[in-house]
Structure 1
Amino acid sequence: MKRILPGLFLLVLVVFATAGQAQGPVKFSGQVKDTVSATPVAGATLTITGAGTFNTQTDSLGRFVFNIPVGNYNLSVSNVGYVTYTEAVVINNQDNAFKEINLIKDNKTLQGIVVTSKVNRESETRLLTEQKKAVVAIQSIGAQELSRKGISNAETGVTKISGVSKQDGLKNVFVRGLGDRYNSTTLNGFAIPSEDPEFKNISLSFFTNDMIQSIGVNKVFTASMNGDVGGALIDIRSKELTGRSELQVSLSSSINSQVPGSSFYLPDGVNKLGYSFASKGPAQKDQQFITDYSAFNTSLDPIKKSTPINSSIAISGGKKFSNRHSFYLVGAMNNTFQYEEGVTRFITATNPQDPYRDLTYQQSERNVSHLLMGNLQLNFEKGKLFYNSMYMHTGSAYAADFYGKESEIFQVAQDYNYEGLIRRLQINDNTLFINQLMWSGNFSDRLTYNIGAGVNYISGEEPDRRILMFPSIGNGMVQLAAGEGRNQRFNSMITETAVLPKVNVQYKLLPNSEKVSYVELGYDGRISSKDFSAPIYNLIWAGGQANSPKFDRNNIELDQYFNQENLTNGSFRVEHFNDKYDVKRNNHGAYIDLVHQLNGKLTLNAGLRADNIFTKINYEVNRGVNIGSNTIEGFFFSPSLNAKYELNSEHQLRAGVSRTFTLPQDKEISPFIYLGIDGNENGNPNLEVSTNYNFDLKWDWYISNSEMLTLNGFYKYIVDPIARVDQGNSAGLRTYDNVSDNAVAAGVELELRKQILSLASNKHRFSLGMNGSYIYTNVKLDPQFFVQNTSSQLEGAAPYILNADVTHNLTTDKLKMTSTLVFNYLSDKVHTIGTRGYNNLIEESVSTLDFVSLINVNKHLGFSFKAKNLLNPDYKLTRKGATETNIPAAIIRSYKKGMTFDLGVSYKF
């Protein structure tokens, strides 16, 4: 039934869209040309006003299409360097004949200056035009669509693209069933490092909609892309000035439905702005036992907060100067609070209904982000200089109490059903500083170039994480655990500096032809250094379990026991050890890419990329038990062949075949053990590089400038796939392995954008957007240690994904209002592949529903209302037992996120 419902919903939406077509608009199309040369004018802006306003731009051949209701309109056509063309047009009941428009050059505008224009890639219509022109299949979501759907960051934005999903609790996304290690992230074409040692890619939630112009998801490989990609290259484009000047201020306030009435606590160590001031621990880092406790400047007890309210502010603007240069600035801060209650469990493979960990928990969390971004564009006669600088900071802090049975760590409480309390206070403080410089220009009419470099610095800190354990002693009382490793203060810091040079030159093979034909040569590199350090401090009560402090479990105060005085007099000891590793990279890639249009319909793209990879990791972790180094080096060749065939002006076919590779992540080849809420993970130094063979076939029907229907099929064959697996031990450890000789990922993706209804002389317009995916993944497992399963889906791969939105636009003389209902469905998927008798850990299906309404009272003042996560579903991890197949799966973790209601106001000066 879970598989049938998404398909039925998809069918209903398609029928609804088709049924609406009978009442929909009619087609008005044409071509814009230069009056003198009769050559097509690409990028011209067409505006139709009358019963509503409609905009579009011409494609590479000067063509345009409108789908609008019948009526009388005024048509305006403009382009830089031309006199604006105006004409009254009448749209009849029947589709109008093809109309040719001729523009006259404006010599006064061109004389003595360099005319520059920018394409507004925030526009849904413009991005659809670019998708149509591209040789390979690309998908993009722009700022306009992000705003319409109430999307707050890039992470949520990319999940609205077909074939893309997110595994809850992880910071990164899955593309066509392939997760973090198979994807790459860039900003304006430059690679970005991760702020978290757990991930290869930076968290996309870093990038808020305040700074996003568009997000492109490139699922089809070309030689100019990084060869270390099997799923997709996700490229975020930062906002730029598109007009002559702009200034906007936005404010909003919201609340999560689970926060009011909750007992909301946060850890000590974060100031009002969301920056951490928690100490990094004592300086005596070369000693096993430290004597200076005063260096810890934060409390072991959480701080109670009154009902907190979410808030955000953003200021953006820019200006053009000297009639050719421009700058753009963005500043933003977001502050959100969440509260959740749930359960977390560990089970044995043979008896899942009797977990050895069975805890209920309450967790309060605060998330803060800060953004400062500026870019400068200087346009000269022989080239263009673009400089972009960005500072980003994100901070999170949470306090969580877990109470219940835990037979491994609460053995001393065996007379009280092995019950106890675990308290976790955690802060994450991440900073990213990016600088990018790019110079582009023409050596001649046939030869163009781009040369630039990026310098990234990133710092990810987890300062003074506090984990404390209290076995039960009955009657609502608990006692501080006295055993080694039961109470811990932990500090980790990861820093990375990377230099990213890149250069390419492009040579037109047919300079006097309208056919697209060029060869491109390029180079890009990454020279980086990463350092990870994690000092760990075990707090050991000297008097043993019998003499440790006792508390009412609802009133625990630890600072009176853990302080400098009691350390000095021997009441407790602080054992210290330091885990660390460092990573050096010296990666260089060169490529050749050929694009040639054979005739008016067929365009080919052939490329070859060579990557010289050198990555070395040195580690000393787990109290010095694991000391060593790993090196990944070698040449990796990545060929690609893509083709585009235009059946006619509306229908296109694209096909692609390529070979790429996937490197293990840093943390996957370091045996460092990370203590997580749902279990612990450590790396595997013996991992091998994966190889990916990729095949794509896509059909596009561009119904109009804003409407489309696409069908995409893909097949991936992965050699030596890597996946997260259970180690099958009592510690609940998970690790990473080349789980098989090969794996397969294949599927189909369907996307539709359609205007479905127009009422009251076009004052009310309804449109539908939807995409659905079926993704089949399979990996044959090694029977030597995958006892329970002989095959499995890939980790994180959701077989069924559905996104749908219905938008209502109301346009009157006084206001414009856009209201959108946004739905998302993800089917069951594998969270962790089970080994050594364990079945797979499953993340169960989830459906979400959001409502967003944007109101522009006039050209200056706007309001917004957002209701997010209206269905408030249960998020569940489940697992079945090894032998009792008829018994329902055990719930390993379950919680709700709550609904969020947001009110905002913006003003454009």
Structure 2
Amino acid sequence: MKNIGLSIILIVLVNFLFAQGSIKGKVMSKESAEELIGATVFIKGTTIGSVVDIDGNYFIKNVPAGKHVLKSSYVSFNSDSVEVTVVDKQVITHNFSLGNSTLALEAFTVEAKAIRSSENYMLQVKQKSATVMEGITSQEITKRGDNDVASAAKRVTGVTIEGGKYVYIRGLSDRYSKTTLNGAEIPGLDPNKNAVELDLFPTNMVENMTVVKSFSPDLPGSFTGGLLNIETKDFPEKFTLQFSAGLGYNTQSSLNNNFLTHGGGSSEVIGKDDGTRDIPLEAMEGVPSLFQDNPRLEQITKSFSKEMNGQESSSSINQRYSFSVGNQKTVFGNSLGFIIGASYSKEFNHIQEDAQSNRYSLTGKVNEVNTLVTQQELKDTKSQEEVLMGILGNLSYKIGSNNKLGFTFVRNQSGTSNTTFQEGIFPKEDNGLFFQTRSLSYQERALTTYQLKGEHYFPSAKKIKVDWLSSYSTSSQNTPDQRFFSNDYRINNDNDTIYGINASAYPVPARYYRFLDQSTFDAKLNIEIPILEKDGKTSKIQIGGAYLFQNRDYFEFRYNYRSQGASLFDGNVDGYLVDENMNLPTAGNPVS
């Protein structure tokens, strides 16, 4: 019994002696809110301590459990101490805010660590900025419930969104604005605009957005209205695992049995065409003229899809999902942080009631004509199904206290299917004539970005700071097999419906393909050199350089259906394009 009792005492004593915890936090200047890189934080009366790193953070490991006095000091700043209680196997957080040594120490206040997703962080950034700027953080975006960056950006003062995707700053159009991702330029997706389509970015991958409305030497010189910078999420200080799901119901679009749709590939569920809509291989080598090579022309014509008319089906409800995991670990004695996130959303939009597409013309002199002449009045029915998917990976590694390397990967994918049907009067050609037109389209957009960046601090070389960034991005916007089919009809005295296709009045049935690919390489280097330090305030000189290379490839193809002789159209769109109607005569014989 004595031996057992002695063993229990020894075990308890050993556990008490080896009970250890950790302390972490941030050291900042009270006056400027800048990180005090190189400041020391240590346990008073011991040799246990840490040096503040390039991000202003410190981390002290293997601290014996119990009460200790924690002290922070930095050259030209007043030291500060606080009593902390360390608990076994737990990490406690304490942030220091040091005042200038030339001033009397005011009442000590504990400040929370600056988190880039908070509104307080954005206020601090605006206060320290030498430019006129506004911003919005993920904290506010979450409150508003915005699904993409375009919806969130319009809440920033001075920003408007045109067409649901293009940014206008200070009233100037998209050609005068610039959008960057983590400070690096990214390619646009529209061949006719100098702008990035913001609806391609899910908000769950965004830490904050800033809008700069004035100029500074370290910003691109290719904007006059403003610059919008999207900053992706950084790794957390501790392990985090997040999952969210949301469902939405629209009274006009959700669970609608009259929702228009058309056929597509199986991979469109992730916003990507699987090749179903590609140009047939037979047509890729060119299309011969009529009678030049009729057998080949016939083969090419028959190889295209016969679907030209939308079908009614039932839509689902809007849905949105997101997942992210992040942590910070010690690897080879240094801090390694990471975050991986993914998001997926699917939305349905349907417009039918009271939607019209009308055209009118003015004949005669303005001061003599009181009414416009109707060319067409069409009721418009349009259904849209959109998928948006995003993937984010962020890796950061600190080498010692003064060097930090980071790698970011972003992939955004979007697929939008549109089916439209319009019908109404067509007095432009003849009274009593009716007009029908259909459009089936699918637009696939993708943006992929790789970024490598670094931050370095040289305390022995006049406290010089160096940061650099290299970014390579590719984007694509493809519109494969957009189909148009228009026809007219009239009702005769016998109440029979007579259909026709008039090539002189409107475009003939056609298929349209567009492919846009763009790549951007962007590299930046910034050097900050302190030249004068007085009363805790530092004057600095900033120098740097930037390199930008962009390349764009753009292709368009259009295929028209040409008919000769009597019209074969009887109102059946699918039947008009059957193979039997594509048989061509031999050369030299009239077309029947």
Distance 1:77 1:365 in 2: 59
Flag the 1:125–1:239 CA change in 2: closer, same or farther, 3 A. same
Q: Which amino acid aligns with 2:490?
A: I
Shift of 1:209: 1.1
Shift of 1:406: 4.2
Aligned to 1:299: 307
| Structural mapping, 1:245-284, within 5 Å | 245-259=239-253, 260-261=255-256, 263-271=258-266, 272-276=269-273, 277-281=276-280, 282-284=283-285
Correspondence 1:447 to 2:467: no
Q: Which amino acid aligns with 2:384?
A: E
Deviating beyond 6 angstroms after TM superposition, the runs of 4 or more aligned structure 1 residues are 30-37, 41-45, 75-78
Correspondence 1:431 to 2:446: yes
Distance 1:118 1:174 in 2: 34
Distance 1:242 1:355 in 2: 62
1:446-472 Cα distance to aligned partner (Å, 9 max, x none): 322222311111110011111111112
Distance 1:240 1:478 in 2: 65
- Selected match of 2:120 from 119, 125, 139: 125
Shift of 1:129: 1.7
Aligned to 1:491: 513
Q: Which amino acid aligns with 1:296?
A: F
Aligned to 1:515: 537
Percent identity for Structure 1 against Structure 2: 21
- Selected match of 1:192 from 172, 175, 186: 186
Aligned to 2:526: 504
1:834-867 Cα distance to aligned partner (Å, 9 max, x none): xxxxxxxxxxxxxxxxxxxxxxxxxxxxxxxxxx
Distance 1:288 1:77 in 2: 87
Aligned to 1:9: none
Shift of 1:35: 11
Distance 2:272 2:498 in 1: 33
User: Between Structure 1 and Structure 2, which shows a larger proportion of helix residues?
Assistant: 2
**1:378, 1:384 within 8 Å by CA — same for their partners in 2?**
yes
Name which one, 1 or 2, has greater alpha-carbon Rg: 2
Shift of 1:394: 0.6
Aligned to 1:355: 374
Q: How many residues align?
A: 475
| Structural mapping, 1:512-591, within 5 Å | 514-544=536-566, 547-551=567-571, 557-569=572-584
SS of 2:165 mapped into structure 1: coil
- Selected match of 2:349 from 322, 327, 338: 338
Distance 2:184 2:448 in 1: 13
Distance 1:77 1:533 in 2: 67
Shift of 1:99: 5.1
Correspondence 1:310 to 2:325: no
Aligned to 1:325: 336
Correspondence 1:464 to 2:481: yes
| Structural mapping, 1:193-212, within 5 Å | 193-212=187-206
**1:192, 1:201 within 8 Å by CA — same for their partners in 2?**
no
Shift of 1:43: 7.5
Aligned to 1:377: 396
Shift of 1:541: 2.5
SS of 1:320 mapped into structure 2: strand
SS of 1:226 mapped into structure 2: coil
User: Between Structure 1 and Structure 2, which shows a larger proportion of strand residues?
Assistant: 1
Q: Relative to structure 2, which stretch is displaced further, 248-257 or 177-186? A: 248-257
Distance 1:85 1:537 in 2: 67
Q: Which amino acid aligns with 1:279?
A: D
Distance 2:140 2:85 in 1: 24
Shift of 1:514: 2.5
Shift of 1:397: 0.8
**2:336, 2:396 within 8 Å by CA — same for their partners in 1?**
yes
Shift of 1:251: 1.1
- Selected match of 1:176 from 170, 181, 187: 170
Q: Which amino acid aligns with 1:433?
A: T
Aligned to 1:239: 233
Distance 1:173 1:325 in 2: 36
- Selected match of 2:107 from 100, 103, 106: 100
Shift of 1:202: 1.6
Distance 1:208 1:83 in 2: 32
Distance 2:243 2:285 in 1: 48
**1:224, 1:522 within 8 Å by CA — same for their partners in 2?**
yes
1:167-194 Cα distance to aligned partner (Å, 9 max, x none): 3x35212211111111000000111111
Shift of 1:429: 0.5
Flag the 1:442–1:511 CA change in 2: closer, same or farther, 3 A. farther
**1:206, 1:394 within 8 Å by CA — same for their partners in 2?**
yes
Distance 1:147 1:353 in 2: 49
SS of 2:125 mapped into structure 1: helix
| Structural mapping, 1:653-692, within 5 Å | none
Correspondence 1:399 to 2:399: no
**1:397, 1:428 within 8 Å by CA — same for their partners in 2?**
yes
Aligned to 2:94: 84
Shift of 1:431: 1.2
Distance 2:496 2:475 in 1: 45
Flag the 1:452–1:352 CA change in 2: closer, same or farther, 3 A. farther
Flag the 1:186–1:288 CA change in 2: closer, same or farther, 3 A. farther
What TM-score results when the alignment is normalised by the length of structure 1? 0.48
Distance 2:417 2:569 in 1: 27
Q: Which amino acid aligns with 1:275?
A: K
1:75-103 Cα distance to aligned partner (Å, 9 max, x none): 9999xx998389xxxxxxxxxxx952189
**1:262, 1:339 within 8 Å by CA — same for their partners in 2?**
no
What TM-score results when the alignment is normalised by the length of structure 2? 0.73
SS of 2:386 mapped into structure 1: strand
Distance 1:208 1:295 in 2: 38
Shift of 1:235: 0.3
Shift of 1:144: 0.6
Distance 2:396 2:540 in 1: 26
Flag the 1:352–1:433 CA change in 2: closer, same or farther, 3 A. farther
Gaps of 5+ in 2: 1-29, 43-52, 59-75, 78-82, 97-104, 291-296, 587-592
**1:421, 1:478 within 8 Å by CA — same for their partners in 2?**
no
Shift of 1:435: 0.6
Q: Which amino acid aligns with 2:358?
A: R
Distance 2:351 2:84 in 1: 54
